[in-house]
Amino acid sequence: MADPGNIHSVLVVDDEAAVRNGICRALSEKGIEAKAATGGQEALNRLETAPVDLLLLDIRMPDMNGIEVLKQVRARHPDTNVIMITGYPTIDSAVHCTKLGALDYLVKPFRLDDLEAALQKARVGRVSSRKHAIVNHGLKIDSEDHLIIGQSRPMKRIFDKILKVAPTDSTVLITGESGTGKELVAQAIHANSLRKDREFVAVDCSSLVETLLESELFGHVKGSFTGAHQTKHGFFELANHGTFFFDEIANLSLNIQAKLLRVIQEREFMKVGDQQKINLDIRIISASNSELTESIRKGIFREDLYYRLSVVPIHLPPLRERKQDIPILVRHFIDKLSRKMKKSSLDVSPEAMDILTEYAWPGNVRELEHTLERILILEDTDIIRAANLPAFITQRQGELQMFSEIPVSLEELEKKYIAFVLKRTRGKKTQAARILGINRKTLTAKVKKYGIS
Ligand SMILES: Nc1ncnc2c1ncn2[C@@H]1O[C@H](COP(=O)(O)OP(=O)(O)OP(=O)(O)O)[C@@H](O)[C@H]1O
Ligand SMILES: [Mg+2]
């Protein structure tokens, strides 16, 4: 892969030919591929087909203001760095551009040194924006120890997608089985977005009471219905200018779906019992653990709403499809839980780690976390071995191991299974016989017959 800190291609956007040509020449001499655009719209069109590492962007241009171009570039091409150039500097506009995500602000006419300094800043910016968020074993949400752990290929791809979509205002639909980390992903998108200092409001649609839902979402004014003793701010108002996380959207009634669609389309809403419209500026992220396409087919989820909500879909694969992440998740949770319980951190034997890795985890990461918590509380040991693992995990492991192999005769299966149970009971025949549902004598005979050691 190319060094992310290097700048290979630059697009210079300025309506003055002399400025364009001067900068392009200077960049070409440095071995950087420099192209030019004479206005904002042309620049945006070019970026669609030929992305660049850096945009040098004039602010005052006849066709389109540079600040407007900056906004669109940040939304559509978050990987492209932007440095503004202007002949009319004001502190206000400099601050404004930086807030919108411009890396630097150059005042015309500038010297080659200034350009070089800005390029250097862009190089550092490119490295650190990725380094910043992606750490050792995962993606940082908002602090050093609030992480989405993962280093498997599917998770790395998801981290990439999170960082790409975060600075935009696109709606995101996160799907995945229960416990796969959908809410964490929503938090990561918010925390890496331009709205990070505003509210992140999470609402679980399945916990909302249908009759109160409207007032919960939109708020109500005093006296608008019996029991409305006070004016209430709804979730939309609380989330305004921030991010709204709609969890379990499959549970929304058709009635509310229709209202929600209208709010999203019109970007304004009214409190219950009020005539005054409130402008809505929110980023909507939703999540579902069921296939919405199925609900659409059944007519219980609106297709038009689905398309509105799922501009960028993110699917979290179940844990059993990214086993590579299990050992680091185990380490992460043991360290985190030990810290919380003020215990010294436990080791995990290689055999126990194998079993944990092979288990299918129907409840995904949440089940893994809870299982480890139980072990840490209940087991008095300084190293977690196979014997410390709950029976449902070790038993399931046997099943999987046997059936994942080439089909064998019943006799062969019996032999393998007895060997497996004996291994789990560490050779204790009485215990093994009890698990197998045969008496000890029969077990001894079978062990002899099959030559199990
Ligand atoms: N990759 C991960 N790294 C660290 N912790 C994780 C990861 N994935 C999930 N978790 C943890 O597992 C638990 C469940 O995650 P979360 O609530 O995000 O799942 P969910 O997909 O929203 O589940 P549900 O569908 O049941 O609401 C949380 O405690 C979360 O912190
Ligand atoms: Mg959830």
pTM higher than 0.85: no
In ligand 1, which atom is closest to the CA atom of 332? 4
Quote the CA–CA distance of 255 and 217 in Å, as a whole number.
13
CATH topology of domain 322-450: Helicase, Ruva Protein; domain 3 (1.10.8)
What protein residues have CB closer than 5 angstroms to ion ligand 2?
Answer: 183
User: For residues 108-119, b (16+ Cβ closer than 10 Å) or e, as one string?
Assistant: beeeeeebeebb
Say yes or no: do domains 9-128 and 322-450 share a fold. Answer: no
Is residue 220 within 8 A of residue 271, CB to CB? The reply is yes
Q: What contacts 24+ positions apart, CB below 8 Å, involve 234-237?
A: 234/271, 235/201, 235/203, 236/263, 236/269, 236/278, 236/280, 236/282, 237/271, 237/278
Beta bridge partners of 87: none
CATH of domain 138-316: 3.40.50.300
Query: Which residue is associated with the tokens 């009759």?
Result: 211
Output the pLDDT for position 140: 86
One-letter amino acid at 58 equals D
CA of 258 to the centre of ligand 1 (A): 30
Classify 9-128 by CATH class: alpha beta
Quote the CA–CA distance of 376 and 362 in Å, as a whole number.
21
Q: Are strands 138-143 and 134-135 parallel, antiparallel or unpaired?
A: antiparallel
Query: Which residue is associated with the tokens 């209940």?
Result: 378
- Give the pLDDT of the chain (453 residues) as one tens digit per residue: 344 457 888 999 999 999 899 999 999 988 889 999 999 999 999 998 888 889 999 999 998 999 999 999 888 887 788 999 888 877 777 778 877 888 888 888 878 788 888 888 777 665 545 555 666 688 988 877 789 999 999 999 999 899 888 888 899 999 999 999 999 999 999 998 888 889 999 998 887 777 777 888 888 888 878 888 888 888 998 999 999 999 999 988 898 899 889 988 998 988 888 889 999 999 999 999 988 988 999 999 999 999 999 999 999 999 999 999 999 999 999 999 998 888 888 899 998 999 999 899 989 999 999 999 999 988 888 899 999 999 888 875 444 455 555 677 888 888 888 988 888 888 889 888 988 888 999 999 999 999 887
Is residue 246 within 8 A of residue 207, CB to CB? The reply is no
Output the pLDDT for position 2: 40
> What are the residue ranges of helices labelled H in 83-178?
91-99, 112-133, 153-165
CA of 329 to the centre of ligand 1 (A): 11
Output the pLDDT for position 4: 47
Residue ranges around ligand 1 (CB below 6 Å): 148-150, 176, 178-184, 289, 365-366, 369
Ligand 1 mutation target, pool 178, 337, 366, 371, most atoms within 8 A of CB:
366
Per-domain residue ranges of the chain: 9-128, 138-316, 322-450
CA of 51 to the centre of ligand 2 (A): 36
Query: Which residue is associated with the tokens 């609402």?
Result: 203
Output the pLDDT for position 371: 94
Ligand 1 mutation target, pool 180, 288, 332, 364, most atoms within 8 A of CB:
180
